[in-house]
Amino acid sequence: MGIKICDITQFYAPGGGVKRYIDEKQDYIRQKKEDEHFLIIPGEKTFSIHDPPIHIFSIKSPLINQFSQHRILLNLTEVTDLLHEIKADIIEAGDPYQSSWLVSWTAKKLKVPVVGYYHSHFPDAYVRTYFGWKNSFLEKAFFTFSRWYAEEIYNQFDFTFVPTLSLLNLLRSWGIKNGVHLSLGVDTKTFTPEPPKNNYRLKLGIPRDAFLLLYVGRLAKEKNIGLLLKTFFFFRIIPLKKTIGY
């Protein structure tokens, strides 16, 4: 008999790394046909999809802002009811915000282990990005608070999964004691060296020995888009021979 695994995250959006992480986990569970997976996410509407062994619960939630694809779970009563209904054997919290506090408290009542995944380095990605007070007292104060907050929320979990060793070491230096390195890996069927006939350097007329600079990511503030823009200013001094956008 398998186990019931429940994921809850506010980082789930139509596109993005967290959705891909969840999708890959669900595909693995489908293939193994041993366990059940339950996913609780914020959505445009409240509904549920049941396609055993996968169960998805969407709770109607507002967008964070008009520019974001992410939504904020405000109906915490519904989340609590679902956690009691699902009776999972293990719960994974995929963001560091209010839903994770609720998951931690509810899991203790249900006597269920709960783990967190450090999907986003939010002290750097959000606090500095959105406040933008470069080297100011306010920036330092908010960054100090966010480090304290990260320690408080993640130390409540039984384990905190971290995708890279460098980030794991940083979190340990902050006082997060339960970190475990869990690499996300690579889909080698998709990301693999192409045969010569599909060589994009050849198609685009880029010499084999040319230095190729790639930016692969969403054009968003939290992805440090400012560094990309600074790079373009740098290349005004050292002109690029070819610029291609997709």
- Residue 8, number of CB atoms within 10 A of its CB: 27
Question: Are residues 117 and 36 located together in one domain of the fold?
Answer: yes
Residue 54 forms beta bridges with which residues? 37, 51
CA distance 233 to 238: 9
What is the total count of domains within the chain?
2
Domain termination site, one of 135, 155, 181: 181
Question: Are residues 97 and 210 located together in one domain of the fold?
Answer: no
∠ at Cα 179 (174, 110), nearest 5°?
115
Task: State how far Cα 47 lies from the chain centre.
Answer: 23
List, in sequence order, every beta strand (DSSP E) within 65-204.
Answer: 90-93, 114-117, 159-162, 179-181
CA distance 183 to 162: 7
What are the pLDDT digits (tens) for 91-115? 999 999 999 999 999 999 999 999 9
Question: Are residues 132 and 202 located together in one domain of the fold?
Answer: no
Question: Are residues 37 and 155 located together in one domain of the fold?
Answer: yes
What are the pLDDT digits (tens) for 35-65? 999 999 999 999 999 999 999 999 999 998 8
- The domain in which residue 210 lies consists of 196-237
Question: Are residues 206 and 156 located together in one domain of the fold?
Answer: no
Asked if the structure places residue 190 within a domain, the reply is: no
Read off the pTM.
Answer: 0.82
Question: Are residues 54 and 144 located together in one domain of the fold?
Answer: yes
Question: Are residues 21 and 134 located together in one domain of the fold?
Answer: yes
